[in-house]
Amino acid sequence: MESCGWAGKILRVDLSTGKVAAEPTGPYADRIIGGRGIGQWILFHELDPSTQPVSAENKLILSAGPLVGTLAPGADRLSVDFNNPQTGGVGSANAGGHFAPELKFAGFDAVVIEGQAAEPVFLSINNDEVKILDASTIWGKTTWETEDLLRKHAGDNRLRVASIGPAGENLVSGACLIVDRSRSAGRGGSGAVLGVKKLKAIAVRGRRPVQIQDPDTFIKQARICWHKVAASSAMNVLREKGTIGVSASKHVRNGQLEDWPTERFDRIRWPVWNKFEISRLACFNCPVNCSHFYKIAEGPYARLAGEGVEANTIRAFGTNLEIDYPPAIFKLSTLCNQLGIDIDFAGAVLGWAFESYQRDLVSSQDTNGLELDWGNYEAAIQLLEAIAHRRGWGKFLAEGVREAAKALGKGSEDWALHIKGADINESGMRHDKAWALGISIANRGGGHLEGAPLLLRLNASIAPDISNRLFGVTDVGPINSYEHKEKMVFWQQRLKGAFDALGICYLLSQWYGLDALGIEDLVPLFESATGRNTSAEELMLYGQRIHNVEKAFNTLHTDISRKDDYPPVRFMRERIESGPFAGEVIHEEEWNNLLSSYYAIQGWNPETGLQPDSLIRGLGLDSVADKLMRHGCI
């Protein structure tokens, strides 16, 4: 029978042998739906615990959920799952754009990349025709050059390309895969995983429709969702202002401060909104068009054009480094896309480097002549390029702040902002306790996109009945209190898992606003697309399963446990000096209590933060528990 929703096949590519094969998606979809679910399932079950992340034995799975490529709004997400070079544990990143729908149109729900090529190659997928081709002429090129050359080579402007840049080729730990020029599967080091495999790019073109089981019902529900997104006030802000519109991020001087003069912040925001933007872009089938396309007309970066000054860009390169010259921030952001570096990684590493210089722990002799004074954007640009190419002092920074601080010592660990080894670029962790929890307990290492709640930060008023339905309490308390924050994070993580499994953009979800898409909205979409019955509770359960498979991966491959679920020491020792949250800090005792409450709601061991056998089996994950048991991890 023809598969509906799912394309029906998973592609396996062994770069060591050159073997290419397809297998049915069905058995995986039955267990864990798709997208991030399938990626994590394959990763957990197929990787030996002795696998090194930057090695031929690692696998990287690109996957698209069953709604990807359909008329559902924001049905565009590509999940990228791998053993994480930064933490040694689970890696999972997510990108928008048009690559994932194209993969479905080519007839595949996922591509599993295995082994290691002897020489640089790229993967060409043109419907059923899959080839591993020589990449010697594109190795060394930026992601933008790679995309242009592959399109030219194929004679097809609609070819969709995911590629690594020089950072990935040079195995920089924060290197990432870039899709459609500026959509990054940012977190975790996917670029280094592909770099060691010598896989420069994956180019895909497909011409098959995604089959829908009940088209009339599906189109009706897709329309309802489109209207809901169009009417959402949260989505309108996102459309008009991009992610900058809702996140007044103040992560200043590598997190020393959280207060910045409004006029300096506006010096960045207003030109970005009012001067440089020339158009809006959207991912596949998205009504929000949150991506803004900019062009710089004058100055040292004149003619620079592209997408993406986002909230995290301003955080990483604006407030963090005290750069208030928007073209320079745009230049740094563009460089990250071209070189294939995660912006959050870059922000953390540059912040640590600048602060170490300011504290006289390194000199301009160490930095190859660069003077790392706050605001020196030319130095930041040169240092970023040096990191991507592992040149000079850049080589020292290429492993991220945990390793750099270990090597430098002299107390520099205190301002090395990472969680579990994953460099972070986050604001507001000291006062926003739910946000801090979601970031700190993320399986992939620090980051807010695995379950850090945004609602309180957006000043959303949560009606008691809605709060009760979502979190099980009528009032979750103020943003800076610890009470009930574990409930918010637990809900958020499951919601994110479900959206990722189906392939819908998380920005369209109730993460961003209660008037956006909820899990209930996805039930009729999933049912009419696939013909499978489900419920909101079941989709949330799938989200929980995915999160637990990832957690189990960490247990199997690392010693990550309760001791690693803490924010960077800076946020626990240094109070906010000024601004609306002056005096806030994360208190150790309250944090310990919050962690225990969180483990309790997850059903994990409060002492260790690890999963008991009964919990994993109770979630229907017997094969996960069996593997943990075989390896003595449970």
Contact footprint for ligand SF4 (CB under 6 A): 74, 76, 96, 282-283, 286, 288-291, 505, 507-508
Name the token pair of 101. 């729908």
Q: How many CB atoms lie within 10 A of CB 389?
A: 18
Task: Identify each DSSP E strand in 137-281 by its residue range.
Answer: 160-163, 177-179, 183-185, 199-205, 277-281
Q: How far is the CB of 88 from ligand SF4 (least distance, A)?
A: 29
172 or 508, CB closer to ligand SF4? 508
175 or 283, CB closer to ligand SF4? 283
Q: How far is the CB of 242 from ligand SF4 (least distance, A)?
A: 8
408 or 449, CB closer to ligand SF4? 449
Residue type present at position 292: H
Burial class (CB in 10 A: 0-12, 13-18, 19+), 579: middle
Write down the residue that tokens 């870059």 correspond to.
346
252 or 455, CB closer to ligand SF4? 455
CA–CA gap between residue 612 and residue 604 (Å, rounded): 6
Residue type present at position 302: A
- Spatial contact of 34 and 25, defined as CB atoms under 8 Å apart: yes
CA–CA gap between residue 123 and residue 182 (Å, rounded): 20
97 or 351, CB closer to ligand SF4? 97
Q: How far is the CB of 543 from ligand SF4 (least distance, A)?
A: 18
68 or 283, CB closer to ligand SF4? 283
- What is the biggest distance separating any 2 CA atoms in the chain, rounded to whole angstroms? 68
194 or 286, CB closer to ligand SF4? 286
- Spatial contact of 402 and 419, defined as CB atoms under 8 Å apart: no
No. of H helices and E strands in the chain? 24, 17
CA 274 to chain centre: 28
Helix, strand, coil percent values for the chain (each to nearest 5): 45, 15, 45
Cα-based distances in Å from 349 to 159, 391, 397: 34, 15, 7
SS (H, E, C) 355-379: HHHHCCCCCCCCCCCCCCCCCCHHH
* H or E element in which residue 114 lies: strand 110-114
CA–CA gap between residue 234 and residue 49 (Å, rounded): 43
74 or 206, CB closer to ligand SF4? 74
For residue 269, which phi and psi values (nearest 5 degrees)? -65, -45
Q: How far is the CB of 273 from ligand SF4 (least distance, A)?
A: 16
Q: How far is the CB of 458 from ligand SF4 (least distance, A)?
A: 15
Q: How far is the CB of 311 from ligand SF4 (least distance, A)?
A: 12
60 or 508, CB closer to ligand SF4? 508
101 or 567, CB closer to ligand SF4? 101
Q: How far is the CB of 367 from ligand SF4 (least distance, A)?
A: 36
Q: At what angle do helices 343-358 and 401-408 cross, to 10 degrees?
A: 20
Q: How far is the CB of 62 from ligand SF4 (least distance, A)?
A: 17
Which residue, 213, 212, 228, is CA-closest to 73?
A: 228
Q: How far is the CB of 76 from ligand SF4 (least distance, A)?
A: 5
47 or 179, CB closer to ligand SF4? 179
Q: How far is the CB of 241 from ligand SF4 (least distance, A)?
A: 12
Q: How far is the CB of 209 from ligand SF4 (least distance, A)?
A: 20
610: DSSP letter: P
44 or 294, CB closer to ligand SF4? 294
Q: How far is the CB of 197 from ligand SF4 (least distance, A)?
A: 27
Q: Helices in 281-325 by DSSP H: which ranges?
A: 311-313
Q: How many CB atoms lie within 10 A of CB 463?
A: 11
- Spatial contact of 543 and 494, defined as CB atoms under 8 Å apart: yes
